[in-house]
Homo-oligomer: A and B are copies of this chain.
Amino acid sequence: MEAYTRDNMADVLRKHGINPTHQRIEIAFALFSRQEHLSADQIMAIVNLRHSETSKATVYNTLNLFLQRKLIREVIVDPSKVFYDPNTRPHHHFYDVVSGRLTDIEAGDLTLSGLPDLPDGVVTEGVDIIIRVRPQQTQPA
């Protein structure tokens, strides 16, 4: 319930065992202040808006570090790019196949029943539910 500032982003990073460098703070701030699902290239564009200071390598290094430390998660829904999601609570997604926009569905009251037993010798790592939607077709009169 607290506004995100670069200062408290640094604290969040430290809490996840991540050294808060300039670049890492900017990348985290881009994701958390917007609370949107962004691709790596969108993040790089945002972070370098004012003046270029973060390389492509660092953007990917950082996003992968954030994933590993479970500060963010990835959403795989577009065959050509990964989206990074600052929301790590259990939740699912609407995906607008035309605009490419992702919207959260809180997992709260959503239940999935009738699942078959897991194949032997495997454990669940996660459940991804994606509702693909498209804008209502406007009917020619």
Contacts and interface: CB of A to CB of B under 8 A. Distances in A.
A141 interface: no
A135 B115 contact: no
Interface string A100-138: 000101101111111110110111111111111111110
B119 A110 contact: no
Interface stretch (A14-22, A48-56, A71-79): A71-79
A109 B129 CA distance: 17
B136 A131 contact: no
Contacts of A115: 105, 110, 131
Given A79-B74, A110-B114, A119 B103 contact: yes
Interface of A: 74, 76-79, 81-82, 94, 96-97, 103, 105-106, 108-116, 118-119, 121-137
